Structure 1
Amino acid sequence: MLAMEGFNPKVITEYFAPEGRMAASIPGYRYREEQVNLAESITNAFIDQEFLVSEAGTGVGKTYAYLIPAILWAQEQKEKVVISTRTRALQQQLTEKDIPDMKKVLGTEFVFVEAKGRENFLCWNKYMRIVAGRKRLEPEERRFIEAILRWAEDTKSGDRKELTLDSSLMNKWGIVAADRKSCLRDSCPYSDKCFRLKMLKSLEKADIIVTNHALLLSDMLVENSILPKYSYLIIDEAHTFDREAFDHLSLRFSQSDINETLQLLFTRDKQGEHGYLQYLRKKYPGFSSLFTEIVDLSDSSSKILQNFFNVLKKSLTDKDYSYTRVLQWQDQETKWMLKAMDLYLEWQNSIILLISKLNSLNDEIKETEEGNELENILQSLSEYSYEASVIMEENIDQQDKITWLECERGQVVAVASSELDAGQVLHERLYSKLESLVMVSATLAIEEGYDYFLTRSGLNTFKGDDRVNTLLQQSPFNYEQQARMFIINDIPEPGERSFAETVAGVLENLFLIMGGQVLVLFTARSQLKDVAAILRPDCDLNDIRLLVQYEDGEFRHLVDEFIHTPRSVLMGLETFWEGIDLKGEILKCVVIIRLPFRPPTDPYCSAADRYCRLQNKNGFQHFMLPDAAVRFKQGTGRLIRSEEDRGLVVVLDSRLEKKNYGRVFKNSIPIKDVLLLETKQLPEYIKEFLKK
């Protein structure tokens, strides 16, 4: 334990007192015992160099509860504290509102910096090439460049968040965005103006670094070469951390990525031959035969790759239209897999030969600007070759790895693989380097227990060493008065013909009674599409604005429309189950169509199930059920966001009541006023609730 005079639980909790600095500096501040308990536990975790896992229910005020200890600790100990969030929205809220609020509360100066991925920053080299006319632009791209000209010349940060352009223009951001593949690094003629480098240098002087899970995990994978050294980490929105780790640990062998790089070298169309080789051919006519060899090898590589993915397509059934297919051990000896492996090895030989020829060319021109760009192409092709070899020659038949095919529109577009147990990697490469770790979210506990989260996140070893403490702080809201749940027990099963019509009928009546302000959460895109098609004509007739994911705009646009449009209804999939904060009259009812069990075809789900079986555990009990319970908790948590909110959750899945496992879902949420109804009873009970 580290003894501190100016940093102890008593000092920290005084900030939160009813007459303390928080009350004096933050408009609308309310004293909450739960917030004080969390702040005190975080303070002790820093002092005792321990780990804390805490669920802080909606309304506890977890952000302020960790910011005050984090800032004071960073100042007292001259130690950097890294705060990581899942969403860009929370990252922005921290840096633009919450941390500036803390400066007023604490009355002290400290340095905080937002760390984000390179794709958020303007690449000056890309921009100057466009301005100099060295890149051919489509009309929309030209309009985008015209729109950012003044900003690009004036900006001090180069951060895309400064732009307020329409989404149609911002879709073209990629043509000027920094990216790893095109980065010239030390060879860049504009390295002194590199906005990303400026951001990275500013991190060295920071007391508090605010980042996101994606960048935190990227830093972990490159041995802490992005963020400066740190020993104190707070992970907010921690309920998704193991899933994001699984995704970040994935390797991907993608046809489109490889072809895109090859097309930078050379491509033919009706207008002629284009690409970097054509530019070099004109500049260096003495290497004509080498250019011809490279073009032939590039063409050959593309054709072999196409054949490889065509053979993999033979593994798909008619239903495998757009999803993933996890490879099983019995696939290894099928005719299509054996043929695919032969083609893969042929492709690997061709790409290695192509890289060799490109290296020969690069040796001749590497001292020039052209050489810098050729080195980028070489690096990309080498990385693709390496990742493909790990997937196809190592991971594909290892017990502790999982490999899958990614399918779009009936075609296999990529082969990918990842770890079965991301938690073990987190333990070895992240947690073991920390003095203290705080993981916090509104949804971590299952029936008030943390076993599932600790196991999935790789924290069990630390728990066994008595280094992990857990804390459960329930929401301070009065759910008995503010919320009620109706479970409908007579909805047909999704496989039955009448499912979509029945669901649409229930929803239409509910929309009319509620007058809109309803969020409908689906688990399957096909069901969302079918129900929306039935509902839309009647919604139009009844002046109800139906906003449907994939049909009426992107996430942010749909949420904005829902907020600003009276009598509106929002229907969506997984994205909408969390991260939406709609207070007051904006949202009065959440409808859950089915319990959110992941499909077995989801690689993350399949990996967890396979890992459970290797541990001689039941995959449903130890993964599928608790995972779905956390997601259910997130979905129902959209409803009550403040003391003034009041509303209904309607669940159209009778398994919540009829199956024994339904109690796990119900015991994990704060809504305890639950009624089981038939469809015909629902309108009457909704009207009764609204009268109160």
Structure 2
Amino acid sequence: MGKDIVVLDIEITDLESDQDTVFKLAALRVCCQQIQKSVHMVIGHQGIISHHLNGADITDEVLESISLSQHGQIILDFFDDAILVGHDVSEYLSRLEQVLKVRFQQPLWDTLDLARILYPSMHHYQLLYLAEKLSLPSREETLNLSENGVWLIWKLFEACWKKGLEFDLSFFDHANSFLEGWAGKGFFQELQKEMIRSFPDRPIRTDLVLAPPPEGLFVLEKNPPPMIPESIDWVVGNFSPGGNLERNLASYESRPGQVMMAKLIAEGFSSSHHVVVEAGTGTGKSFAYLIPSLWSAKKTGQKVVVATHTIPLQEQLQKKDIPVLEGVLPFPFRASVLKGKNNYCCLKKWQGCLGIREHLSAEQKLAILSVLVWLRETLTGDVQELSKVPGLMEIWPSVCADNETCLPGRCAKAGVCFLLRARKKAEESDVLIVNHSLLFSDLKTDYNVLPEYRRLVIDEAHQIYQTALQHLGSELSVEDVGRIIDSIYRPAGLSFYGTVKQRLDALAHIVPSVPWEIVIKRLEGIPGICAGVMAQTKELFDLLSMILGEERTFRFVAQHALSPWWNGLNVQIENLVGRIKTLLRTLEGLTGILSEEDADEIEELKYILTSHQRELQELVDTLTQAINVNNPKQVTWLEQSTRLYLKTSPIEVSDILKAKIFSRLDAVVLTSATLSISNSFEHFLNDIGLPKDTITAQVDSPFDYERQMQFIVVRKGINYLNSDQEKALELSEFIAEVAERMNGRTLVLFTAHSLLRQTYTALAPILSRIGVETLAQGIQGERSTLIEAFKRNPKSVLLGANSFWEGIDIPGDALSCVILVKLPFWPPTLPLIEARSEYLKSQGRDPFRELLLPEAVIRFKQGFGRLIRSKGDRGVVILLDDRVIEKYYGRFFLGSLPIKTHIRGENTFVFRKIEEYNRDLDEELL
């Protein structure tokens, strides 16, 4: 690139007030890939604290006597006639302009945006993370250490430029449409000029540019397949001392628990019986079920499905465990991952999306550019590969394959369809990895989602009951209805109505026997009917919002039939159902007109119509079910989160699971680190519909909990009679004391978001004064972002609520303390919990003992398990809820933990014990 660039990095330290803000500015002026000058300034509101300017004619001058305005002019001169390049620096640059009372007129190319576009699978875009992942060259020795950040920004810019030069010119044809109004537009314009100049012979592609597909979905076996061992002893032998795994994997150690688990699973598969195994952390349970699963699949020729709850575990199986086993097992096998349709990019929808630029925000346009790059690299089309950059999840519904009108066999993109490719791999797999949601989608559609299978492994099985409740129920929002109606008719954009109108002349020519004048007449009524459905939906949800008021949830019960709003609600739902049925009849009429025709184009229309009718019927069923409050086995409620939902759910799912899973399949293995309560599986078995004589086993963790950790119960830790504000102050003081002694490295688990937020407000300033960062769920970002930030800076405290109690894996020194604020009982007033409790009471059963207590113990075990994730981990778990030692039910919590001893005492005693533990640990390490 012929133009000069100024690469800059700005750090800001805010002290007691705005007037105490200190700016650190480092900049390099670069021409033809060579540094011409550099500047480093430390600037306060009262003037320049220090200033170093290096260049061809100036050598390490320290200029401290010049006024603030004169320094502003020096910076303007340094920036003159150059393009500014920085990393997420625009806000800081604006603040610096205010202090210096200057205006920088140059365009700013943000390497944060450039990296998001050009490296769409990075997942995180912090500068140091990018430097590590992209192996950016290290800093030149001639540069000052404080200029390390600006050096990395320059090298990141060069990496983006170099990658951009690899593209074909069609990339720019598509990209230019989405660059208007963005400051970085000039980067791609300069890149295009450079490409035309440097690579004049590069071909111009006109079709979709995708990564070259692999030669085959699976590598064909060149040699005759080896004989598969018949005996279960072979499975067990893999895990035994001196066995296959120990011989081939340097870090592998035989573990008795893993041997026992693998044997039980292999026996279950061979003898066709169900097995439940609780396997403690560190058991190696994924190998313990994968090897028997692969062995069984190869021996019988019947697929085994493995279902996980979380994406991280799915990723671990796919990218870590399966590749290891491919290298050590004596037979080849095929394993694949299948996800829900909405995870895959639909190339047909993507092409349509490229033609629509109106009504897109700046963030959405940049997200489209990110996808444009990603499609040149991905082999799967799976959205989980993509970083969740701003705007992506807003455009994803417009490009994903979750489309009821999709006809893969007749699609022009069928040959390169990511969903079809994933399904074909799934069909040909020996072991297929899915998630719980897809497993239940298969059950809900009478087994039309997954390929046929007779053996199933459910990992993270403690979640299966909640997942079943969620998927066997239904939910409705204005946005859900809008999505369905938009697919039928929308004034602008793709819809059934618009597509048929556009193709009408061609269809009439191809199939003249259809009475198209009647079709046109029926079509003309659709816009008005759809508008009526949406208007009625908004009226209904306005009423529901009024009923909910300021609450987060509201359960409908039989007594509400006496409320003044009940009749109005019934009328609103009946009106909406009536309007939806009118639309249904219109679509059914169109289907009837086309029913006798079998041309491909008509078959496609009939398929689309049938799909829309099914979706509309589901709306009718949900609405009708919602006002049936006399069914004791069902609950209906309102829930306000990001939007207002009307939800329904069954209360009991054991009979459904028994019928649809356990009675149908030959063998089901259920495993998790937390299934038992005080060594009993009774609650879990009863919940999911398995008989008491099901084969169960507890496999202890190989970790030495008594040596690796201390468990401390704080007496009078928090006064739960206090207000949340008072609790937050108490908590912040306690956490700060612990964090100072632990040098950060602390995870605090809450049961309520409101208390978390208030604690963060009180805690953050205290920790800031001792140099510890405070990270909080719902404040700095979503879960994966916060966990990565915590790992990068262990000198921090991470506050998390419900979703942080499980699925977090932070081995090593980064996490050395877990604080459990409260025993994790679900609030008894949650609609589903309340309804399940009432149902148990109606049967003469105790909801506390059979529902609230077991659920809390399982969640408690999950939270406790966040600390020790490897044999080298050390640390402290602190419980601030002394009910565990004061109440009779505390023994169920303590008796379910892998550690048998604990320390109890008040705050000062606890702080002293932490100091003693740290001293002992330091001596042990010495």
TM-score, normalization by structure 2: 0.69
Distance of 1:90 and 1:111 partners within structure 2: 19
Structure 1 residue 482 and structure 2 residue 715: aligned? no
Distance of 1:118 and 1:171 partners within structure 2: 17
CA 1:232–1:639 in 2, change beyond 3 Å: closer, same or farther?
A: same
Distance of 1:265 and 1:34 partners within structure 2: 56
Give the residue type in structure 2 aligned to 1:634.
Answer: Q
Q: Corresponding residue for 1:386?
A: 620
Q: Corresponding residue for 2:538?
A: 306
Structure 1 residue 375 and structure 2 residue 609: aligned? yes
Distance of 2:765 and 2:427 partners within structure 1: 57
Structure 1 residue 337 and structure 2 residue 566: aligned? yes
Kindly indicate whether the alpha-carbon contact (under 8 Å) linking 1:590 and 1:649 is maintained by their aligned counterparts in 2.
Answer: yes
Q: Deviations over 1:202-228 (max 9, x none)?
A: 222211111111111111111211212
Q: Corresponding residue for 1:690?
A: 918
Q: 1:132 Cα shift?
A: 4.4
Q: Deviations over 1:102-149 (max 9, x none)?
A: 122212201111111112211011012123459864433332233333
Q: How does 1:57-456 map to 2 (within 5 A)?
A: 57-133=280-356, 137-153=360-376, 155-163=378-386, 166=389, 169=392, 172-181=395-404, 183-186=406-409, 188-263=411-486, 276=495, 293-318=525-550, 320=551, 323-358=552-587, 367=601, 375=609, 378-379=612-613, 382-392=616-626, 395-408=628-641, 413-456=644-687
Distance of 1:6 and 1:278 partners within structure 2: 59
Kindly indicate whether the alpha-carbon contact (under 8 Å) linking 2:713 and 2:903 is maintained by their aligned counterparts in 1.
Answer: yes
Kindly indicate whether the alpha-carbon contact (under 8 Å) linking 1:200 and 1:226 is maintained by their aligned counterparts in 2.
Answer: no
Distance of 1:373 and 1:611 partners within structure 2: 42
Kindly indicate whether the alpha-carbon contact (under 8 Å) linking 2:345 and 2:399 is maintained by their aligned counterparts in 1.
Answer: yes
CA 1:311–1:236 in 2, change beyond 3 Å: closer, same or farther?
A: same
Give the residue type in structure 2 aligned to 1:433.
Answer: R
Q: 1:681 Cα shift?
A: 2.3
675-684 or 636-645, which deviates more: 675-684
Gaps of 5+ in 2: 1-226, 506-516, 921-926
Distance of 1:275 and 1:194 partners within structure 2: 20
137-146 or 628-637, which deviates more: 137-146
Kindly indicate whether the alpha-carbon contact (under 8 Å) linking 1:401 and 1:417 is maintained by their aligned counterparts in 2.
Answer: yes
Distance of 2:356 and 2:622 partners within structure 1: 36
Q: Deviations over 1:574-607 (max 9, x none)?
A: 1110111111101100001111011224344234
Q: Which has the higher contact order (CA 8 A, sep 6+)?
A: 1
Q: 1:7 Cα shift?
A: 3.6
Aligned partner of 1:629 among 842, 857, 861: 857
Aligned partner of 2:844 among 611, 616, 634: 616
Give the residue type in structure 2 aligned to 1:313.
Answer: S
126-135 or 636-645, which deviates more: 126-135
Give the residue type in structure 2 aligned to 1:234.
Answer: V
CA 1:349–1:390 in 2, change beyond 3 Å: closer, same or farther?
A: closer
Structure 1 residue 471 and structure 2 residue 697: aligned? yes
Q: Deviations over 1:320-375 (max 9, x none)?
A: 0xx32222221233221222111111111112113333555677899479958973
Q: 1:532 Cα shift?
A: 0.5
Q: 1:482 Cα shift?
A: 1.2
Q: Deviations over 1:284-340 (max 9, x none)?
A: 79888766643333333233222322333343354x0xx322222212332212221
Kindly indicate whether the alpha-carbon contact (under 8 Å) linking 1:251 and 1:391 is maintained by their aligned counterparts in 2.
Answer: no
Kindly indicate whether the alpha-carbon contact (under 8 Å) linking 2:751 and 2:821 is maintained by their aligned counterparts in 1.
Answer: yes
Kindly indicate whether the alpha-carbon contact (under 8 Å) linking 1:362 and 1:374 is maintained by their aligned counterparts in 2.
Answer: no
What CA RMSD, in Å, does the superposition of the two structures yield over aligned residues? 2.9
Q: 1:193 Cα shift?
A: 3.1
Give the residue type in structure 1 aligned to 2:560.
Answer: D
Q: Corresponding residue for 2:249?
A: 26
CA 1:339–1:168 in 2, change beyond 3 Å: closer, same or farther?
A: closer
Kindly indicate whether the alpha-carbon contact (under 8 Å) linking 2:303 and 2:429 is maintained by their aligned counterparts in 1.
Answer: yes
Distance of 2:388 and 2:278 partners within structure 1: 38
Q: Corresponding residue for 2:32?
A: none
Aligned partner of 1:638 among 853, 866, 869: 866
Kindly indicate whether the alpha-carbon contact (under 8 Å) linking 2:580 and 2:620 is maintained by their aligned counterparts in 1.
Answer: no
Kindly indicate whether the alpha-carbon contact (under 8 Å) linking 1:359 and 1:378 is maintained by their aligned counterparts in 2.
Answer: no
Distance of 1:477 and 1:251 partners within structure 2: 42
TM-score, normalization by structure 1: 0.91
Q: Deviations over 1:432-491 (max 9, x none)?
A: 11111111111111001100110111113xx3xx4x101011112111111112212222
Kindly indicate whether the alpha-carbon contact (under 8 Å) linking 2:367 and 2:390 is maintained by their aligned counterparts in 1.
Answer: no
Q: 1:622 Cα shift?
A: 0.4
Structure showing greater Rg: 2
Q: How does 1:563-602 map to 2 (within 5 A)?
A: 563-602=791-830
CA 1:215–1:135 in 2, change beyond 3 Å: closer, same or farther?
A: farther
Distance of 1:370 and 1:206 partners within structure 2: 30
Give the residue type in structure 2 aligned to 1:388.
Answer: T
Give the residue type in structure 1 aligned to 2:704.
Answer: N
Gaps of 5+ in 1: none
631-640 or 641-650, which deviates more: 641-650
Kindly indicate whether the alpha-carbon contact (under 8 Å) linking 1:243 and 1:604 is maintained by their aligned counterparts in 2.
Answer: no
Aligned partner of 1:42 among 259, 262, 265: 265
- SS, match of residue 197 in structure 1: helix
Q: 1:672 Cα shift?
A: 2.3
Structure 1 residue 534 and structure 2 residue 762: aligned? yes
- SS, match of residue 397 in structure 1: coil
Identity in percent: 32
CA 1:266–1:204 in 2, change beyond 3 Å: closer, same or farther?
A: closer
CA 1:292–1:437 in 2, change beyond 3 Å: closer, same or farther?
A: closer
Q: 1:39 Cα shift?
A: 1.1
Distance of 1:495 and 1:606 partners within structure 2: 25
CA 1:517–1:242 in 2, change beyond 3 Å: closer, same or farther?
A: same
Give the residue type in structure 1 aligned to 2:527.
Answer: V
Q: 1:538 Cα shift?
A: 1.5
CA 1:150–1:691 in 2, change beyond 3 Å: closer, same or farther?
A: closer
Q: Corresponding residue for 1:15?
A: 238
Give the number of equivalent residue pairs: 674
Give the residue type in structure 2 aligned to 1:431.
Answer: F
Distance of 1:363 and 1:154 partners within structure 2: 45
343-352 or 186-195, which deviates more: 186-195
- SS, match of residue 326 in structure 1: strand
Distance of 1:211 and 1:275 partners within structure 2: 31
Give the residue type in structure 2 aligned to 1:310.
Answer: D
- SS, match of residue 598 in structure 1: coil
Distance of 1:27 and 1:172 partners within structure 2: 46
148-157 or 304-313, which deviates more: 148-157
Give the residue type in structure 1 aligned to 2:896.
Answer: S
Q: 1:282 Cα shift?
A: 8.0
CA 1:254–1:5 in 2, change beyond 3 Å: closer, same or farther?
A: closer
Distance of 1:689 and 1:154 partners within structure 2: 50
Give the residue type in structure 2 aligned to 1:300.
Answer: G
